[in-house]
Amino acid sequence: MMTKTIDIHTAHISLDDVLSLIRQGTEVIMTDANTQLARIVPSFPLRKERIAGLHPGAIWTSDDFDEPLPDEFWTGNL
């Protein structure tokens, strides 16, 4: 996670700009000179890029996966 420090006296940044940084997954630290006032972090899980074919053969599907289940399954009389 990236972090951006913003001094409230020297940075001319709008709330929209701060929220934009947070939506991108950036942690924002608000300071008054050298004193940390607030730390704002994204509250949503950051998405990781999915990589196709990363685990070939790790998952398989049986040939009858879409066949109806027997009545015994539904009645609990297996």
- Tell me: the pLDDT tens digits for 39-67? 999 987 767 788 888 888 888 889 999 99
pLDDT for 46 equals 67
pLDDT for 37 equals 96
Assess if residue 16 is contained within a domain.
yes
Closest to 7 (Cα-Cα) out of 36, 48, 41: 36
The total number of structural domains that make up the chain: 1
pLDDT for 78 equals 67
Instruction: For residue 5, give its domain range.
Output: 1-43
Assess if residue 59 is contained within a domain.
no
If DSSP states are collapsed to H, E and C, what string results for the chain? Answer: CCEEEEECCCCCCCHHHHHHHHHCCCEEEEEECCEEEEEECCCCCCCCCCCCCCCCCCCCCCCCCCCCCCHHHHHCCC
Assess if residue 67 is contained within a domain.
no
Q: How many CB atoms lie within 10 A of CB 57?
A: 5
Assess if residue 64 is contained within a domain.
no
Confidence of residue 19 (pLDDT cuts 50, 70, 90): very high
